[in-house]
Structures are given as C-alpha cells and as structure tokens.
DNA sequence: TCGCACATGTAACGTGTTACATGATTAG
DNA sequence: CTAATCATGTAACACGTTACATGTGCGA
C-alpha cells in the first residue's frame, strides 16, 4: 500500500490538499492504514496529476499561504477501485511492545509494569479516538471497520488486564535492574 | 525496530546463521515483529561483528555450503537489553484488508464475501502456527506474547463471523460489478 | 517574542527490497 | 530433469524520511 493509493483513497471521499492528506494519514482516521510525510505526499500528488488521476485548483487565502486543492477524476476513481480487485498485500503488524514483553524476564518489574500501564492508557486513548471517528464517519464501510478495530483493541485490553500480573511476576525484582543491564 | 535489533534479539536466544535469521523473520516466530531480507540481514550482521556485538565462526558441511554461525557477545546482550529501557517505538498496523473493506459499498458482494472467507482461513492458519510455536517456545516471555496474539486474532475472527454479513449486505449485488469498475 | 499552525515543495539521506551470481544435494 | 533447499553475499533500485527553504498571522 503505497502513498499513491492512500492519496486516491482519501480523495475518493472528497477534495483535499497535500497538507490535509498528511494530517489524516498521521493523526487522523487513516493513521491506521498509513503514515506518510510531506516528502512522500507532494511528489505523489504531482505524479497523480500528470497521469490525470487527479486535478488541482489553487485557492488564495488572506493571511495564509495559497492552497492547492486536489480532486479525484473519474479515471482516478476507476483505477483505485480496480486496484482493490487485485490480490491484496498482506497485513503487517510490527510491535516493539511485544518484542519488549518477550524479554520481560531480563527486565526489572517496575519497567514491565510501567510499559503495561502505558499501553492500557494508549488503548483507552485509541478507543476514544474510534468513538469520535464513528460519530464523524461519512463512508458506509467506516462504521464496520471502526468496530472491528475497537473489538480487537478491547480484546487486547482485557488480556493485559487479566494476565499482566503473570508477566510482571516473570520479571526481575527491582534491585536487580543493574544486573539486567550488565 | 531495525534489522540490527532483530538480529540481536534472535541471537539472544542462541546462535544462528544469516540464513536462519531470515527464515525466522519471514516465516517463523519473528515474522510478527519483522520481515527482513538477505540484502538487509547480511550487511547488518557484518556491521554488528565489526562493532563486536556478535562473533562468528565458519562451519564446513559436506554437500552443503559452509555456514557462518553468529553468536552474541556480552556487550551485544547488554546493548540490546539497554535498548529496551529506552522509549519504545510505536506499534504499527498496516492493513490493506481493512482499506478494502472500507470500500465494500463500491465492490461486488461476491468479492467482499470471498475476501472475508480468505481472511478467516488466514486467521485459522495463523492460530495453528501459534499453537505450534507455543509447543516449541524456549523463552519465558514467549507463551504470554503468543497467547496475547491468539486472543486478538480470535477476537477478530469472532467479529468477522458475527458481522461479516452486514458488510456483504452493504456491497453491490453481483451483476453490478461492471458498473463498480467503471 | 517565541513558537506554532497554516501551506508547499525540494534535496540529501537512510533503509530495505529485488534480482543476480555461485553451486552442490535432494526430493518429486 | 526440474525445482527446491541450503547458504552467502553484492549491486541496483525503490521508497520513504528528515531537514531545510519560505512566509504570514495568531495566541501564550
């Protein structure tokens, strides 16, 4: 799933600027699919425009810099939907958190406990995000996908709450942390 | 989480060759943390050896090419554990599958249904993998992490089984698929 | 007045992938 | 006899990030 596809997916639901696309993909609803920077988005949009998958118009604003608003074309829509017919790339999950937990037995209890608590807080904040998104969602499939995410997150939360203590018990008593680092 | 760290994490549990590390990270237990290729692993190991975080010895084999077996050093161990004390990178989840489902309303029902079934099959195969891994696990934290993964996957599975039909209902009746691509 | 939000864009850089070179053995 | 597995390594390439350039207006 490259930056090009993400631009098309976002523009599918409505016009946007490069600036807005980046925001959506880093902080917003799309952050669960991608995480793209300006250096990737602006060139991608320029190329998409050349290929006539999107068009742009410039809008002057007083005080603020001019905006370059992109719209998806009919060809762009067709190409994007067509790409969904092709074999999907595999989902990928990369978790430094889980790698950390795997080594709980080599780490001080206090650190393991802290990381577990941080994760619970993170999940709660994500869950709140999902609720906000669900209120704002516009696309018909959104609600389903959001609830899917919520279900998985809640399962993770419950597991940590039910079994966190077992992991902490595995870790090193706190005086030992100098030994662990040695 | 770069390739260097993964090499250290794998070598932490025992000696391995570059070939074996790649296998573990693509097909094996580590595939849930990374997915590294030869072109990344071999240079990383060479650099780690220069920095004295690992050592290597060559083992001749009859019939097969010679192996270069890497071992982690004391410094390597300490450095790796120390890196776990530092602030963790965020988990990342990238799912083409969810992006696809988001656009269910633009796609033919048969395709949505097929993808949902493929996913169920994929989850079952992952679940079976987890069971195998749990039998083979050597590291104390492994069992916890594996059960965590299993819990999340099972939640995903149940959600798809319980709510898949709602998504299919949202999709386009099958005659319509030419229109969707247009 | 400091820094942030808005807004676009480029150049240097980092990191990892794909494809190739090499070559014996074994299973189908 | 073909393909896969074992095994290491490199070079070309793709893709994306970080940092910078540029400039205004607003809130703390």
Q: What pLDDT was estimated at residue B32?
A: 81
Query: Cα separation of B182 and B177, whole Å?
Result: 9
Q: Assess whether pLDDT exceeds 70 at residue B182.
A: no
Contacts of residue B7, defined as CB under 8 A and 6 or more positions apart, other chains included, come to B21, B41, B44, B45, B48, B54, B70
Q: How confident is residue B178, by pLDDT bands cut at 50, 70 and 90?
A: low
Beta bridge partner(s), residue A17: A69
Q: Assess whether pLDDT exceeds 80 at residue A138.
A: no
What is the model's pTM?
0.90
CB A12 within 8 A of CB A78: no
Residue listed under structure tokens 């917003």: A28
| 3-state SS, residue B75 | helix
Q: How confident is residue B3, by pLDDT bands cut at 50, 70 and 90?
A: very high
- Across the interface, which of B96, B105, B155 has its CB nearest the CB of A140? B105
Q: What pLDDT was estimated at residue B87?
A: 87
Q: What pLDDT was estimated at residue A92?
A: 86
The percent of residues above 70 in pLDDT, for chain A, comes to: 96
DSSP one-letter string for B25-79: HHTSGGGGT----HHHHHHHHHHHHHTTSEEEEEE--SSSPPEEEEEE-HHHHHH
Query: Cα separation of A56 and B70, whole Å?
Result: 54
Task: Return left, alpha or beta for B15; rule: phi > 0 is left, psi -120 to 50 is alpha, else beta.
Answer: beta
Q: Does A120 touch chain B (CB under 8 A)?
A: no
Query: Cα separation of A94 and B91, whole Å?
Result: 6
pLDDT tens track for A30-64: 888 888 999 999 999 999 999 999 999 999 887 78
pLDDT tens track for A151-163: 999 999 999 999 9
Report CA-CA distances (Å) from B37 to A85, B6, B7, B15, B164: 28, 12, 12, 19, 35
Residue listed under structure tokens 């030994």: A179
Q: What pLDDT was estimated at residue A114?
A: 97
CB A117 within 8 A of CB A101: no
Q: Assess whether pLDDT exceeds 90 at residue A180.
A: no
Beta bridge partner(s), residue B68: B58
Q: How confident is residue A178, by pLDDT bands cut at 50, 70 and 90?
A: low
Q: Which of B109, B129, B143, B145 would best serve as a mutation to test chain A binding (most A beta carbons within 10 A)? A: B145
CB A133 within 8 A of CB A146: yes
pLDDT tens track for B64-105: 888 999 999 999 999 999 999 998 888 888 899 999 999 999
CB A152 within 8 A of CB B152: yes
Q: How confident is residue A174, by pLDDT bands cut at 50, 70 and 90?
A: confident
Q: What pLDDT was estimated at residue A54?
A: 97
Report CA-CA distances (Å) from A38 to A22, A23, A35, A44, A67: 7, 10, 10, 10, 14
Using the structure, give the distance in angstroms from the CA atom of B133 to the C1' atom of D7, rounded to a whole number. Answer: 25
Q: Give 3-state DSSP helix, strand, coil % of chain A, rounded to 5.
A: 70, 10, 20
Q: Assess whether pLDDT exceeds 60 at residue B43.
A: yes
Q: Which residues touch strand D (CB under 7 A)?
A: A 2-4, 35-40, 44, 62-65; B 17-20, 23, 38-39, 42-43, 45-46, 61, 64-69
Query: Cα separation of B31 and B23, whole Å?
Result: 9
CB contacts, 8 Å: A99 with chain B: 1, 5, 9, 33
Average pLDDT, chain B: 91
Q: What pLDDT was estimated at residue B88?
A: 87
Q: What pLDDT was estimated at residue A27?
A: 85
A/B interface, count of CB pairs below 8 Å: 179
Query: Cα separation of A100 and A18, whole Å?
Result: 36
CB spacing of B149 vs A100 below 8 angstroms: no
Q: Assess whether pLDDT exceeds 90 at residue B121.
A: yes
pLDDT tens track for A63-117: 788 899 999 999 999 999 999 999 888 888 889 999 999 999 999 999 999 999 9
Average pLDDT, chain A: 92
Q: Assess whether pLDDT exceeds 90 at residue B179.
A: no
The percent of residues above 70 in pLDDT, for chain B, comes to: 96
For residues B143-152, give the mean pLDDT: 96
Q: Please state at what angle helix B142-170 crosses helix B109-136, rounded to 10 degrees.
A: 170
For residues B17-27, give the mean pLDDT: 94
Beta bridge partner(s), residue A56: A70
Q: Which burial class, exposed, middle or buried, applies to B136 when counting CB atoms under 10 A from its CB (0-12, 13-18, 19+)?
A: exposed
Q: What pLDDT was estimated at residue A179?
A: 52
CB spacing of B156 vs A148 below 8 angstroms: yes
Top-confidence range, A123-132, B108-117, B120-129, B166-175:
B108-117
Q: How is residue B176 annotated by DSSP?
A: G
């Amino acid at each position: 799933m490259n930056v090009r596809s993400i631009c098309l997916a976002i523009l599918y639901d409505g016009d946007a600027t490069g600036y807005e696309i980046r925001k959506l993909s880093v902080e917003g609803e799309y952050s669960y699919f991608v995480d793209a920077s300006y250096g990737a988005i602006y060139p991608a949009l320029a190329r998409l425009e050349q290929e006539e998958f999107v068009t742009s118009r410039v809008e002057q604003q007083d005080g603020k810099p001019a905006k370059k608003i992109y719209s998806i074309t009919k060809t762009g829509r067709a190409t994007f939907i067509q790409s969904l017919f092709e074999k999907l790339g595999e989902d990928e999950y990369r978790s430094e958190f889980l790698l950390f937990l795997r080594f709980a037995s080599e780490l001080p209890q206090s650190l393991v406990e802290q990381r577990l608590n941080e994760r619970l807080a993170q999940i709660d904040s994500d869950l709140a995000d999902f609720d906000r998104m669900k209120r704002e969602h516009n696309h018909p499939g959104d609600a389903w996908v959001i609830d899917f995410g919520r279900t998985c997150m809640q399962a993770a939360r419950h597991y940590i709450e039910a079994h966190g203590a077992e992991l902490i018990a595995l870790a090193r008593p706190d005086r030992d942390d100098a030994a662990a680092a040695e």
